[in-house]
Structure 1
Amino acid sequence: MKKYEVANIKEIHNKKPKIVEVKGIEIGIYLVDGEYYAWRNYCPHAAAPVCQGVVCGTRLPSMVYNYEYGRDQEILRCPWHGWEFDLKTGQHLVDPNVRLRNFPIEQDGEKLYVFLNR
């Protein structure tokens, strides 16, 4: 695997990712609960640019007519059809067999790097 510099840590904020292109692949870099994550900017549902969606929370399982909001800033909602993905695992919230493609990410001082097989 090759290591590619993608960002300075000061460029990454909790509520907004940085979208970069590495060897022709768009990747969204996220900061969630103090950890960095790198996800391919490609929704497995309909090939939407998923990293252009909002970072938000979601409705949690609750009793009928009781709507409980939670997991704020941990969910990525696809801009085309609203599919929601866990930013820590990449899993779709309804079908855990559907997931975003991740890339290993490493912090070295102030710099962030991703690893690709290219």
Structure 2
Amino acid sequence: MAKHVVARAAEIPPGQRRLVRIGERAIVVFNVGGEFFALNDRCPHGGGSLACGVLTGLVESDAPGRYSYSRRGEILRCPWHAWEFDIRTGRSVCDPRRMKVRQWPAQVETGAALAQEGYVAETFPVSVEDEYVVVEA
């Protein structure tokens, strides 16, 4: 992959993002607490612009009525259908097949990767070199 300078690091402050074009690709670069992450701007579910998504945290429950909130600013919610992705890996936070209200036939299969197959936002390596944010694409 070739390296592409997309901005000075100071131009994307913590909590902010920048949409850039590298060739034919639209890539959104996020600064989460001083760490930079780059994702394809297109949601793998319906094609929504992830640059317009909301950065939130991870809500988990270990029992009914009990919730914990962690990883603030690391979960990206697509603006079209609210699908959530881990900004560090691009992986879907939930199993999209179980998000529907309508019931469909189901079967038991092993392997955590199987549940997320096909629902991974494309990620790109990001580094900061001499104060510039560099994306490899």
Match of 1:71 in 2: 71
Equivalent residues of 2:15, 2:33 under 8 A apart:
no
Residue 122 (structure 2) pairs with residue 104 (structure 1): no
Give the distance between the partners of 1:48 and 1:62, measured in 2 at CA: 31
Equivalent residues of 1:15, 1:73 under 8 A apart:
yes
Give the distance between the partners of 1:82 and 1:13, measured in 2 at CA: 25
Give the distance between the partners of 1:80 and 1:14, measured in 2 at CA: 24
Match of 2:112 in 1: none
Match of 2:104 in 1: none
Q: Which runs of 5+ in 1 are unaligned?
A: none
TM-score, normalised via structure 2 length: 0.77
Shift of 1:25: 1.1
Which structure shows the bigger proportion of residues in helix conformation?
2
Q: Which protein shows a greater Rg?
A: 2
Equivalent residues of 1:14, 1:73 under 8 A apart:
no
Give the distance between the partners of 1:45 and 1:65, measured in 2 at CA: 30
Q: Which amino acid aligns with 1:104?
A: P
Give the distance between the partners of 1:115 and 1:71, measured in 2 at CA: 25
Aligned residues with identical type, % of pairs: 34
Q: Which runs of 5+ in 2 are unaligned?
A: 96-115
Once the two structures are superposed, residues 78-98 of structure 1 have per-residue CA deviations (whole angstroms, 9 ceiling, x without a partner) of: 000100111111110013432
Once the two structures are superposed, residues 11-69 of structure 1 have per-residue CA deviations (whole angstroms, 9 ceiling, x without a partner) of: 22332211111112111111224321111100000011012101111311331022322
State the secondary structure of the residue aligned to 1:75.
Answer: strand
State the secondary structure of the residue aligned to 2:63.
Answer: coil
Task: State the superposition RMSD in angstroms.
Answer: 1.5
Residue 32 (structure 2) pairs with residue 49 (structure 1): no
Runs of 4 or more, structure 1, over 4 Å off, are none
TM-score, normalised via structure 1 length: 0.88
